Amino acid sequence: MTLQNILVVGGGTLGSQIAYQAAFHGKNVTLYDISDEALTQAASRLARLSPSYQEDLQASPAKTEATESAIRLTSDLSAAATDVDLVIESIPEIPTIKVDFYSKLAPLLPKEALIATNSSTMLPSRLADSTGRPDKFLAMHFANMIWIRNTVEIMGHARTNPAATAEIEEFTREIGMIPIVLNKEQPGYILNSLLVPFLDAAFKLWGTDVADAYTIDRVWMLATGAPRGPFAVIDVVGLRTAYEIFSQQPGDVAKAVAQKIKARTDQGYLGLETGRGFYTYPNPAYMQAGFLTALGDEKEQSTVTV
Amino acid sequence: MTLQNILVVGGGTLGSQIAYQAAFHGKNVTLYDISDEALTQAASRLARLSPSYQEDLQASPAKTEATESAIRLTSDLSAAATDVDLVIESIPEIPTIKVDFYSKLAPLLPKEALIATNSSTMLPSRLADSTGRPDKFLAMHFANMIWIRNTVEIMGHARTNPAATAEIEEFTREIGMIPIVLNKEQPGYILNSLLVPFLDAAFKLWGTDVADAYTIDRVWMLATGAPRGPFAVIDVVGLRTAYEIFSQQPGDVAKAVAQKIKARTDQGYLGLETGRGFYTYPNPAYMQAGFLTALGDEKEQSTVTV
């Protein structure tokens, strides 16, 4: 069975991107959100994606226009749920909101419809029963800017039917993305399970003044051949997210890290989103000739008073 | 002052490489070891480096021959210590052996001579007093295959004179290597402080069967643009080293990881050194077209019975 009729629930940043990506690849897409206001915002988000698809994927204006107009927007859940093959849920990360929503959605859906949650933080086993079809429920984790960062982590729970996982894997390829199938539930999936301790270690070296961010990145790049180091990755993740994590951790080192991050975020150094974080964009220092050998002796931006 | 007369202590794998690299770049190098037998082994190691410098750095046979013959080998410590500007110590990682050696060496050396330890595991503050010149003592950490992996982490302790650190930094550049200067002592320096938690996270995902090694590497490569993932790095580090670490860690997860590694090492899958570890060499799967998209559906080698 090909999953052709897709219902995306939630028109936020990722929900909009998922809807757009699926429609771009020829799926019949309905985007549901709770109010006309939310749908208006979702429509703006969809419209803002077209230039990115044109620029980054060389899509023609005709193709992006057709993609936008093919996505059906609705706040009528009964209508949205008709004839759906796959629901991809991307609503707020609050367990009771998700459970309530699934309980409302489940009876409206065709019995055979699959459901995938895009949750970053909740394991699918926690939500499975509320979907009324635990064997057809799993997690599909997209990263922001899915048209470029086109990996999807697919994670079932113990009762997910392997046939459902296989269908989702095929669907992922059909919408131009690379499926990564986990064998079992894992908080943080694979990517964040690797990234979190890696970035944590980098922040602690920096927070305790063992070395500046540029030096730490340089070591990683030289030793592993990676095109960027941990602080370049952090600029993508965003410094506010990093601050939230460290400000909630116990211990003096975490406190020192949080304070040093806050000195940056207070001055608008939020990362890629503001064009400056540990690096300034475009053309960050780590992409410049001589960065690795430090012949220009680039040092971490000292414009921030810490 | 240029550091020209170099005494390398210990003709093991790294000591030989350090002596060769310094001589190759025009330093006057003496290699000291404790016995004629040890020196004979060191001489073989030096001879085996010449083909690598020819192949990897396009050095001429005349140049490598001159390099080999320029290195003075001796087991006479008094003679070795005469007129030395810098000692680089690369002897076994046993604190008492290092302390005893420094206590014996210190009175024989010129008063102004600097001393650097290549220790991976001991902080320089622990050894400083035994050198008789704590202000002129620091750690210089080389990685195996220094002519290619040409980064040196330079780490002083609280009493190291910044002028000494600056001289070592200059010396590092003079022998064709990239200096990374730490601001303070850090167990594991920068690189291992990042690598250890990163590889630990990867091993735990694999050891608990969340995903196979190839899938984990693929996720990291796709998400970060890195040319290789954690298991490719582990093949370089060596699986026996990984086993030693996990077999000494407490907990069920570490035990599961250690057992899965042992199933590989028992069958000779030691990593790059045996041509097979998680990948087979040359031409490991992660370098093949299609690895990232898994269109060929490469899976981790299942030749190992676990």
Give the per-residue SS3 of A21-66: HHHHCCCEEEEECCCHHHHHHHHHHHHHHHHHHHHHHCCCHHHHHH
pLDDT band at B243 (very low <50, low <70, confident <90, very high): very high
Q: Kindly report, residue by residue over A98-120, the tens digit of the pLDDT.
A: 999 999 999 999 999 999 999 99
The CATH code for residues B193-287 is: 1.10.1040.10
Q: Kindly report, residue by residue over A134-151, the tens digit of the pLDDT.
A: 999 999 999 889 999 999
Q: Kindly report, residue by residue over A213-253, the tens digit of the pLDDT.
A: 999 999 999 999 999 999 999 999 899 999 999 999 999 99
For B113, counting Cβ atoms within 10 Å of its Cβ (0-12 exposed, 13-18 middle, 19+ buried), the class is buried
* pLDDT over 70 percentage in chain B: 96
Check: CB of residue B238 under 8 Å from CB of residue B273.
Answer: yes
Q: Would you identify the CATH topology of the domain B5-181?
A: Rossmann fold (3.40.50)
Type and span of the H or E element at B139: strand B137-142
Q: Give the pLDDT of residue A294.
A: 72
Note whether B5-181 and B193-287 share their fold: no
Strand order across the beta sheet in which A28-32 lies: A72-74, A28-32, A5-9, A86-89, A114-117, A137-142, A151-156, A178-181
Q: Give the pLDDT of residue B299.
A: 57
The CATH code for residues A194-287 is: 1.10.1040.10
Average pLDDT over every residue of B282-306: 70
The residues spanned by each domain of chain A are: 5-181, 194-287
CB contact under 8 A, B190 and A216: yes
Which among B197, B226, B293 has the least Cβ separation from residue A224?
B226
Mean pLDDT (chain A, rounded): 94
Which among A191, A216, A227 has the least Cβ separation from residue B219?
A191
Average pLDDT over every residue of B137-166: 96
Q: Which residues of B touch A211 (CB under 8 A)?
A: 180-183, 190
Which among A153, A202, A225 has the least Cβ separation from residue B194?
A202
CB contact under 8 A, B190 and A205: yes
- Residue of chain B nearest A194, judged by CA positions: B201
Q: Give the pLDDT of residue A295.
A: 59
Q: Kindly report, residue by residue over A39-57, the tens digit of the pLDDT.
A: 999 999 999 999 999 999 9
Q: What is the C-alpha separation between A201 and A220, in angstroms, rounded?
A: 12
